[in-house]
Chains A and B, each alone.
Chain A
Amino acid sequence: MSSQLERLWGTSPLKSHYDVVLIGGGIHGLATAYYLAKEHGITDVAVLERRYVGYGGSGRNTAIVRANQRTQENVRLYDEGLRLWPKLIDELDFNMMFFNCGNLNLAHSEAAVSGFRLAVSTANFCNVKSELLDPQQCKEMVPALDISDRPYHPIHGGMYHEPGGILRHDAVVWGLAKGAYKYGTHIHQGVEVLGIDTDGQKITGVQTNQGSISCNKLAVMAGGYGASICEMVGMELPVHPLTIQAMVTQPLKPFLHHVVSSGAYHCYANQTLKGEVATGAHMDPQVNYSTTPTAWYMKHQAESLTEFLPCLKGVKFMRIWAGLADMTPDMAPIMDGNVMYDGLFIDVGWGYFGFKSGPITGKYMAEFIAEDEAPDILKPFALNRFLENRYMGETAGATNYGHWN
């Protein structure tokens, strides 16, 4: 490497006290650190990462971004997140390779078309572009689609969401780490949190494999491992850590110009700028902390993909990997503060949606941590909704994958 090139971020001494400690060196933690410094002047911040930044879900997702969720509360948050990307890329002076290719969701039943109708109405009500397509229009958009009645689940229609797209997820992590470090955030890799210290009703610090660190405020932003960190203070959460697998094919000439996804086939795919088709599956159903892929899902994915994109028959998968999705019963995240203990903030339960919303969540969680008061946009995501029987309706979302679809 040329000595001219500067490192994006550097190492910092591990202090024994920080104003704010963020657990998890992924998109959420780094974005929160960045906005804490940039918008609230809080620079005495440490991001603790057990492995290396971007090791977890931040570097394992399929990097799809969209704002066509089922409920207005979610659409508003994701929409603001979607509009933030170009601004963030400018601000950080780092190319995150935002490819605004649009998302096409396929419906394989009349019930799914009705679901799309509802989702399109919700999106339009929130001033988000989304439209319903018939099979012919889907075919015009993606000529490789098989809209005949040959597939087991024929295509009944589609929902096209123009503002969506994909990014390069590693670049997002690196850009945010660069930005946070520039403002003085200490990014500590290889520091694992082993325990949380409390004094009465207050959080006082964390125990790590490198010694104890005291802090005034602590935020858990550790993706799939967040719930197990909350367990260190005896906090039980409605969160299920589930393995989710993804894979890429060999590079092909450009043929797929949009993200295509199908609920019935539990399958979503996009062609990356390198030409590979990146595709993800549904979650393994049993809770676990493993990130080992399985042959079962590779077969499932090959079968599903070639049903609606038959031109992919014979194409080889090059790589397969897995990450953790911390799924909640209503498929919406939990963002809360001063919960159980003063100074304890949680940003968990993102399931497989954590990437889309990373920077915007960081922006609002930073505000939450700085002001000690939940910003209006985050209020519906409080933990208490699960104890008041006010579940969000995301499980009924037409873009989600489950046995209900």
Chain B
Amino acid sequence: MSFTITCPHCGERDVYEYHFGGRDRGPPPSQEDSGIEEHLRYAQFRTTSTEAQLEWWFHASGCGTWFKTWRNPANNREEKPQETGNE
């Protein structure tokens, strides 16, 4: 669906201006301490949340910045996860 993503420099713009960089999964497992399976798992196994998740986006047709933002894949709104108080 069409929606907007907010670039830190250019502001709120149409999603088709961006490249999607995937969910932020933190740094890859270290070369020394992990095997091929961990690397493959890091590279391809992922959950796509139905709640807000932190993602990488690249403003390809704009300022050319990589940045992180929260988005909910269930409704494509930019929203932060709700505070549950349990975490």
Residues of A within 8 A of B (CB): 227-228, 231, 236-241, 243, 284-296, 322, 329, 386-387, 389
Contact = CB atoms under 8 A, between A and B. Distances in A.
Contacts of B14: 296
Given A290-B76, A294-B2, A296-B2, A240 B48 contact: yes
A289 B20 contact: no
Interface string B20-36: 10110000000000001
Contact of A287 (B15, B45, B73, B75): B73
Given A387-B41, A389-B40, A238 B1 contact: no
Interface in B32-87: 36-37, 40-41, 44-48, 50, 73-76
A335 B1 CA distance: 29
B44 A294 contact: no
A236 B38 CA distance: 13
A239 B44 CA distance: 8
Contact of A329 (B16, B44, B47, B76): B44
Contacts of B36: 389
Interface of B: 1-2, 14-16, 19-20, 22-23, 36-37, 40-41, 44-48, 50, 73-76
Contacts of B40: 386-387, 389
B1 A290 contact: yes
A288 B73 CA distance: 4
A236 B46 contact: yes
A57 to B, nearest CB: 16
A227 B49 CA distance: 10
Contacts of A237: 45
Contact of A231 (B15, B22, B47, B74): B47
Given A292-B1, A387-B40, A238 B50 contact: no
B86 to A, nearest CB: 18
B84 to A, nearest CB: 18
A187 to B, nearest CB: 25
Across the A-B interface, the 6 shortest Cβ-Cβ residue pairs: A292-B1, A286-B20, A238-B44, A294-B2, A290-B1, A288-B73
Given A241-B73, A386-B45, A387-B37, A228 B50 contact: yes
B16 A289 contact: no
Nearest to B23: A287
A31 B75 CA distance: 31
A290 B48 contact: no
Contacts of A293: 1
B37 A287 contact: no
23 contacts: A227-B47, A227-B48, A236-B46, A236-B47, A238-B46, A241-B48, A284-B1, A285-B20, A286-B73, A288-B1, A288-B48, A288-B74, A289-B48, A289-B50, A289-B73, A292-B2, A293-B1, A295-B2, A296-B14, A329-B44, A386-B40, A386-B45, A389-B36
Contacts of A285: 19-20
Nearest to B1: A292
Contacts of B37: 387
B28 to A, nearest CB: 15
Nearest to B40: A387
A299 B79 CA distance: 29
Given A228-B50, A243-B1, A295-B2, A290 B44 contact: no
Nearest to B16: A296
B13 to A, nearest CB: 13
Contacts of A240: 46, 48
